[in-house]
Structure 1
Amino acid sequence: MHNWNDPGGKGSACQADKDRKDATRIAGQLNIPIHIRDFSQNYWDDVFRHFLDEYAAGRTPNPDVLCNREIKFKTFLQAAIDLGAGCIATGHYARIRKHQGHYQLLRGCDPDKDQSYFLHTLGQQQLAQACFPIGDLRKPQVRELARQAGFATYDKKDSTGVCFIGERDFRKFLAHYLPAQPGFILDTQGHPLGEHPGALYFTLGQRQGLGLGGVQGAHQAPWYVVGKNVTHNTLTVAQGDAGHWLDALRLLTSQPSWVAEKPPGKSFLCTAKTRYRQPDQSCQVQVLDDHCEVIFEQAQRAPTPGQAVVFYAEELCLGGATIEATDAAFGGLEAST
């Protein structure tokens, strides 16, 4: 599937061409037909516009989660069914199990590659029409099987980062679509320290690109973004560990989705991740109509509005939700007592 038309003709377009050639070559080796479908308009409408809207609102979205929900397991799935397929097989490191008439989403067996975090919005219908053939394998095993099969891609470099940005500078890419004005960088007392190129280009916990190395009277420890206000176009920063300003015990979330299509209960204990590859964190989830409150046993570093918090019961992915606010110092909720 072709998901992105690169207006600049650089960055991800070159990689997409290579991927298409690789897929065509392997289809030839397997003596199976290849069908190429252009979903770039769907991606623009259903993923990229949301990505821009979230950044414009001062949030930090996760386009991979939305791409799985809206493109791979919706638009692409329907296209495959229209071609006569009974299901789709993807290269995600995750597993599907049918238990007592219901489908469950499980972590991939390779803990370094598990992608269940990005698949937490899938429901029963999508899981019934999907399979993850490499979910029981580790990445070195997958590469070895590809080598034995004679696939030239067996040692292909892993893909990282946001697919439509490629190797480009993220801020320059975002500025092409969301031009911003310079604004003030403030300390935690509200005193100006310098200027930034646009608050929406920064995310919580970020330390690069602030340009505050020579602040008079400050020691040499790094500065971190601990708050941002896109309405007033300001960044708030703290120096040193900054954990006091970034740590949060409580999250308020929206748009909860459940793999079983209902939560385990109105209140339940589980573990959760607020970012990909984070170790599991023990928490309690309170389900409140169309949103959830998540209370962690230990403070979490810089949980960020717009990102996903994903819930687990051991190897089982229960679902997840979008972070709206936290009880961090500038997180929008009153601090925990």
Structure 2
Amino acid sequence: MAKPGPSHPRPLTLRFLTGVGHALAETRSQAQKPAHKDLKSKWPKTSHLGLRPLMLRFLTAPAHALSVAISSFTVIMVFTGIRPSNRISPESDEMMVIVLDNSNIRVVVGMSGGVDSSVTALLLKQQGYDVVGVFMKNWDDTDENGVCTATTDYEDVAKVASEIGIPYYSINFEKEYWDRVFQYFLDEYKAGRTPNPDVMCNKEIKFKAFLDYADQLNADYIAMGHYAQVKTDENGIVHMLRGADGNKDQTYFLSQLSQDQLKKSLFPIGHLQKPEVRKIAEAAGLATAKKKDSTGICFIGERNFKQFLSTYLPAQPGKMMTVDGVEMGTHDGLMYYTIGQRQGLGIGGNSDNSEPWFVVGKDLDKNILYVGQGFDNPALMANSLSASNLNWTTGQAPAEGTHMTAKFRYRQRDTGVTLHYHDDGTATVDFDVPVRAITPGQAVVFYDGDECLGGGTIDAAYAHTNELQYV
């Protein structure tokens, strides 16, 4: 046998690991060196989409015999010890080959008309999936001028679908959205709380009603343009991880998803930074490449929140007072204010204290809004909270007394917490340090490092076991 060299590449044993949506192949030299350290991750047998492979064995073949010119596959080669290349190096002792055979796997993509979902569909199409785009119309958002922004968004979906070559449909979920999300939104405000409709929308519409519709299209998976990641462990349990872009991570809003929902969901841009997503869209010439990101609550859009809410709930003005009982004016209705709010109070400083005023409490029965001066007003600081509607994304609740981290609002820095369960299904969450402006109705979301464990709804906040009058 000739000595391995440029003209006689050494024989390599190929092990192809094929599976749902992707395959992992590892080629070794006869020396059988240990695996590359990057493969020793917590979930080493999954792609960034969270899909697990199965193993098939192929015969020994010379390195130069492996071809990447396979039309129905996506082939990615990663060499250990050398820079990646588009061909096998005879000097390389080992490498990893990822082979994606996805042509028989249908993924239905929720397309909003924005750049994130557009790139989601593009990447899946490039990876060989059978991709179908679907636009969800969840709300009649005709503005004051009679213009429906959903029409513009749908036109953008049509343009992108045409550009990347996929079929697309539109589905109307207005009734489902009203019944499952908007009615909840109104009920929470009537109860003096501040809800998070995005959490409920993901749970009930995007990953439930949409998933049911995708099943009618014979989908194997659904995909969304969320900045989150999923990984599957050796037992087949799907774990949800933060998006790689810390500024865009959306696991907070996905914390109510179940294991069944996660097993059917892909997040193709979760491993990317937002600027990378823009660059991919621009390079592909997508119509949405420079489209502005949507912000705020979807059914309110650019409209004034107070005006919008007043069309559905009658306003009940009342007294605005300090916790000491000093009347400071009148409020327009408790539903318009949230704990920790500064804007819109109409109170200036005084000669003794020039610090700004904040909402520090509510009394729903007496219709009183409590205010206090100072960002760190003691009435705004809590040591613990109670939570209900607890959901654990793996289907397994952490043990009693587990220490983890938590967020109490989106983009907030994590706080160390300890979890204690109650027989009625609720839990007490004790904080490592005091936290400002805990808001009933908002989501508390739990993390173990980068993994999102799940979350619940904040019911009340406490300062040294004394309940703060936030509702």
1:271-316 CA-partner distances (Å, limit 9, x unpaired): 0000011111111011223111100111111010000110000011
Bigger Rg over Cα: 2
Separation in structure 2 between the aligned mates of residue 196 and residue 218 of structure 1, nearest angstrom: 24
Separation in structure 2 between the aligned mates of residue 226 and residue 12 of structure 1, nearest angstrom: 39
Match of 1:139 in 2: 274
Match of 1:163 in 2: 298
Give SS of 2:361's match.
strand
Please report the RMSD computed on the Cα atoms of aligned residues, expressed in angstroms: 1.9
Q: Would you identify which runs of 4 or more consecutive aligned residues in structure 1 move more than 6 Å?
A: none
Would you tell me which structure has more helix in proportion to its own residues?
Answer: 1
The residue type equivalent to 1:81 in the other structure is D
| Pick aligned residue for 1:39 from 168, 173, 180 | 173
Match of 1:117 in 2: 252
Report the alpha carbon displacement of residue 241 of structure 1 after superposing the two structures with TM: 2.7
Separation in structure 1 between the aligned mates of residue 414 and residue 272 of structure 2, nearest angstrom: 21
- Contact (CA 8 Å) 1:12, 1:164: kept in 2 or not? no
Give SS of 1:150's match.
coil
Structure 1 gaps of 5+ residues are none
Alignment of 1:1-337 (within 5 A): 1-6=136-141, 9-10=143-144, 14-100=148-234, 101-213=236-348, 219-289=353-423, 290-328=425-463, 332=467
The alpha-carbon distance between structure 1 residues 89 and 117, as it changes in their structure 2 partners (threshold 3 A), is same
User: Is 236-245 or 96-105 further displaced after alignment?
Assistant: 236-245
Higher relative contact order (CA closer than 8 Å, sequence separation 6+) = 1
- Contact (CA 8 Å) 2:383, 2:464: kept in 1 or not? no
The alpha-carbon distance between structure 1 residues 314 and 13, as it changes in their structure 2 partners (threshold 3 A), is farther
- Contact (CA 8 Å) 1:207, 1:225: kept in 2 or not? yes
Separation in structure 2 between the aligned mates of residue 309 and residue 330 of structure 1, nearest angstrom: 18
Q: Could you tell me the percent identity over the aligned residues? A: 49
Give SS of 1:104's match.
strand
TM-score by length of 2: 0.68
TM-score by length of 1: 0.94
Report the alpha carbon displacement of residue 32 of structure 1 after superposing the two structures with TM: 1.5
The alpha-carbon distance between structure 1 residues 221 and 232, as it changes in their structure 2 partners (threshold 3 A), is same
Structure 2 gaps of 5+ residues are 1-135
Aligned length: 332
Report the alpha carbon displacement of residue 330 of structure 1 after superposing the two structures with TM: 11
The residue type equivalent to 1:41 in the other structure is K
- Contact (CA 8 Å) 1:65, 1:119: kept in 2 or not? yes
- Contact (CA 8 Å) 1:12, 1:167: kept in 2 or not? no
Separation in structure 2 between the aligned mates of residue 208 and residue 85 of structure 1, nearest angstrom: 47
The alpha-carbon distance between structure 1 residues 218 and 196, as it changes in their structure 2 partners (threshold 3 A), is farther
- Contact (CA 8 Å) 2:387, 2:427: kept in 1 or not? yes
